[in-house]
Structure 1
Amino acid sequence: MTPLPRWIDLGLLPIWNLAMALLVAGLVVLVIGHSPWQALSVLLQGSLGSARGLGYSLYYATSFIFTGLAVAVAIHAGLFNIGGEGQATLGGIGVALLALWLGAKLPAVVLLPLLVLAAAGFGMVWAALPGYLQAWRGSHVVITTIMFNFLAAGLNGYLLVNWLRPADSMAVESAEFAPSARFPAVHELLESVGVEWPSSPLNLSLLLALAACVFVWWFLWKSAAGYAVRAVGASPRAAHYGGIAPRRQILLAMAVSGALAGLVGVNEISGVQGKLTLDFVAGAGFTGIACSLMGRNHPVGILLAALLFGVLYQGGVEVSFELQGFSREMVVTAQGLIVLFSGAMATVSAPLFATLYARFKGAKHG
């Protein structure tokens, strides 16, 4: 098969896959008795047509950027980390423990960076354990990360029920954080400088997510450590022959991956909830897999894919409200189709594009 140039592989092919997914989703909407154009119009209006809708879309996208980057780093090392849910949960636990301990003692300018480090650190440790088991004990990282998702959920529930829940409360959640432990909301910051903006969960974690994109790009393609990680992902034996220790790179990749996923805790726990709750990750770890696949494991592609899924999440809520008989599950179906076409179907479409490109290239030279 003729190798595809980057503008097709990273640009045209994902757009084609997205168009095919939306086309099939539109046919499904038509079959159940709704207008695809009306559904699409309501979805876009609800997610991008107002300042509040845009805020919610960006809030969802923030968590998806973190988990998408986490998956991508592991994939470049030849690993499939599907433990983003558990690593994000541990990140939230780290944020909560530090916020409850030091929230009343430290100012925000000192505490907020510490919360970021706590989220990344707890997520890093939770992912490094399966990395160690893979590298030194031969336990497959897919199996162990799935198991660690359940362990993280169990640990979160245990801490909330037995240790962090206030004695006078029946709700399974921790006490409220001090104001210094809350990441500032974007609408509050804009109001402080005289700009009116509707309230939404969007907070400054979005800037942290953008910084994470830059970091992952630098780490994977500009640093020696990232080169070693990608070398192991491409060929562990060749990397070992070249003097690179595959075991250490597996551990490093999983640690970085877990740290990125753990940052979801900053967005959700410090930025929105203001307390530790059950199931605050709400599937963001699995959506990150779709973002990474659709974004071709590159930070720019992941950013765009996360924005798309943020729009689908927020717009899907509006569609389920506005269109009678259109359930939330239909939006999940559309998301599943996008995952199918951007992941599995990408390998089906690629030969077609390679054939067309080869013919175009031959005709041009002829």
Structure 2
Amino acid sequence: MADPRDEPSDGTPVEGAVATETAPPPVLAERGAPPPPTGVLGLLVREQSIIVPIVAVIAALAIGAVLIRAQGVNPTYAYQSLFTYSFGTADGLQATFEKMVPLILCGLAVVIPLRVGLFNIGAQGQLMSGAICAAAAAHAVREAPGFLIAVIAMVAGILGGAMWASIAGALKATRGVHEVISTIMLNSIAAGLIDYLVNGPLKDPSQSYPSSYPAPDGAKFQALGFVPIGLPIALVLAILVAWMLRRTTLGFQFETIGRNRHAASYAGIKLGGMIVLAMAVAGALAGLSGSIEYLEIDPYRYQDGIAGSLGFDGITIALLARSSPLGTIPAALLVGALRAGSSTLMFNTGIQPEIVDMLLAITLLLVSLPIIAKLIFRRHTAKSSALASSWGS
């Protein structure tokens, strides 16, 4: 039998040689790197995107229970009152679903920029911009058929929110202005500008308080039983955003920029255009939520407080969902239930509804801790590596 070593240098085996399958060389672990965890610890590490939010919610409820007990109220009864109304009654379930709609959309408005490496704090202003644009458009075409008015109002809301968010995207892309600063400032600018509009050009003279003209009767969204019209829209958009991020070229470009901007630029992706586009898509979703609030929630007009804290709650939703578009759905369900049941909690127990804000704040803090720790240790590791590499040079 011929020795395989007798094969020619071009790789052609000699006659009679026996082909032997060579196993690939083992992948050597990086020097000093610990082996991946196994068992329960390994499961916790692999599924941390699910486990961390659950632990954060449970811990927040436990801390809330201590504070509720300190006010002389049984925490079990308090939570039972809150969730029984939100999930156990038709009115409460409808209120929960109504809260879910803007929460999902505003959560998506934060998730998309996060996947590009941006932090959109401006969903509140983008929601308000979309709502006022929807109100103005609906009043302008008030003589049209109701269905057409609703479509025009939603398109106007989408464009209004996209335009408002694009300002922050353009400032980031062209001047390097940090999006956190610009979006916070744009929230205040939107509030002031809209306050002028509802006290001036768009004010309904029949109202004693600042308020826009109402949505025409034919354009108002009517719930299907206890399911609001906006809920299927929000659910479909969450699925579409998840599909876009995972299955399309645009989603790949967003993800590449978020993971490594330098590599994305080297690969030919136009960073400036993608940043503006990501912010525009986020603003469009937040603006759509504002237009749906205008068309779906009584009194069907833009007035002070229409946004509440929905835009800021979108930040909680996005972090609770761990930047997952589909994760915004259960996150919005939980936060929507807390928001919907806060009034019942006050009536049944005497506890102020601000306890819900406290629970959400604690949840947000606990969910954010792993992210903050990761950033801190990443910078510490990078600094240590730089010092080690420069030692003795």
TM bracket, shorter-chain basis: 0.7 to 0.9
For the pair 1:322 / 2:348, whether they are aligned, the reply is yes
Shift of residue 170 of structure 1? 2.1
AA in 1 matched with 2:141? L
Shift of residue 32 of structure 1?
A: 2.1
Aligned counterpart, 1:181: 219
Normalising by structure 2, we get a TM-score of 0.81
Aligned partners of 1:74 and 1:239: how far apart in 2?
16
1:117 corresponds to 2:142: no
In structure 2, the residue matched to 1:146 is 184
Q: 2:338 aligns with which of 298, 301, 312?
A: 312
SS at 1:203 equivalent: coil
Q: Which residue of 2 aligns with 1:234?
A: 259
List per-residue Cα deviations over 1:146-194 (Å, max 9, x = no partner). Answer: 010011111111111111113343221022221122122334xxxxxxx
Query: Which structure 2 residues correspond to residues 1-366 of structure 1 after superposition, within 5 A?
Result: 2=36, 8-104=47-143, 106-187=144-225, 203-272=228-297, 273-324=299-350, 326-344=351-369
Structure of higher RCO (CA pairs closer than 8 Å, 6+ residues apart): 1
Partners in 1 of 2:46 and 2:287 — Cα distance?
Answer: 32
Alpha-carbon contact 1:203-1:267 (below 8 Å) kept: no
| TM-score (normalised: structure 1) | 0.87
SS of the counterpart of 1:279?
coil
| SS of corresponding position for 1:300 | coil
Equivalent residues of 2:138, 2:152 under 8 A apart: no
The letter of the residue matching 1:228 is: Q
2:25 aligns with none
Per-residue CA shift, 1:5-32, capped at 9, x if unaligned?
6861232232122111111111121222
Between stretches 314-323 and 74-83, larger displacement belongs to 314-323
The alpha carbon displacement at 1:267 in A equals 2.4
Q: Once the two structures are superposed, what CA deviation does each residue of 1:49-92 show, in whole Å capped at 9, x if it has no partner? A: 10110000111111110100000001001000000010000100
Aligned residues: 334
CA distance in 1 between counterparts of 2:283 and 2:79 reads 35
Unaligned regions of 5+ residues in structure 2, if any? Answer: 1-33, 375-393
Preserved CA contact (<8 Å) 1:103 1:180: no
Secondary structure of the residue that 2:177 maps to in structure 1?
coil
Unaligned runs of 5+ in 1: 188-196, 350-366
- State the 1:345 CA deviation: 5.2
Residue identity matched to 1:40: Y
**SS of the residue 1:17 aligns to:** helix
Do the aligned partners of 2:146 and 2:216 also contact (CA within 8 Å) in 1? no
Task: Deviation per CA, 1:315-346: give whole Å up to 9, x if none.
Answer: 2211111003x111222111211111222257
Partners of 1:13 and 1:346 within 8 A in 2: no
Could you tell me which residue of structure 2 aligns to residue 357 of structure 1? none
Structure 2 residue matching 1:344: 3-state secondary structure = helix
Distance 1:185 1:162 in 2: 32
**Shift of residue 308 of structure 1?**
0.3
Counterpart-to-counterpart distance in 2, 1:33 and 1:41: 16
Q: Distance in 2 between matches of 1:168 and 1:274?
A: 15
Whether the aligned pair in 2 keeps the contact of 1:166 and 1:174 (CA below 8 Å) is: yes
C-alpha distance in structure 2 between counterparts of 1:41 and 1:340, whole Å: 24
Deviations 1:268-304 (A, max 9, x none): 1111132221231101011000000000111221110
Q: 1:364 — aligned with what?
A: none
Could you tell me how far apart the structure 2 residues matched to 1:299 and 1:342 are?
Answer: 16
Letter of the 2:314 counterpart: G
2:315 maps to a residue whose letter is: I
Shift of 1:305: 0.4
Contact kept in structure 2, 1:76 and 1:230, CA below 8 Å: yes
Q: Structure 1 residues 345, 224: closer, same or farther in 2, change over 3 A?
A: closer
Q: CA deviation at 1:219?
A: 1.8
C-alpha displacement of 1:48:
0.8
Classify the secondary structure of the residue corresponding to 2:98: helix
Q: CA deviation at 1:256?
A: 0.5
- 1:130 touches 1:144 (CA, 8 Å); kept in 2? yes
What CA distance in whole angstroms lies between the structure 1 residues aligned with 2:251 and 2:301? Answer: 35
Distance 1:259 1:159 in 2: 21
**Residue identity in the other structure for 1:157:** D
Q: Of Structure 1 and Structure 2, which has the larger fraction of its residues in helix?
A: 1
Q: What is the RMSD computed on CA atoms of the aligned residues?
A: 1.9
CA contact (8 A) 1:133 1:139 kept: yes
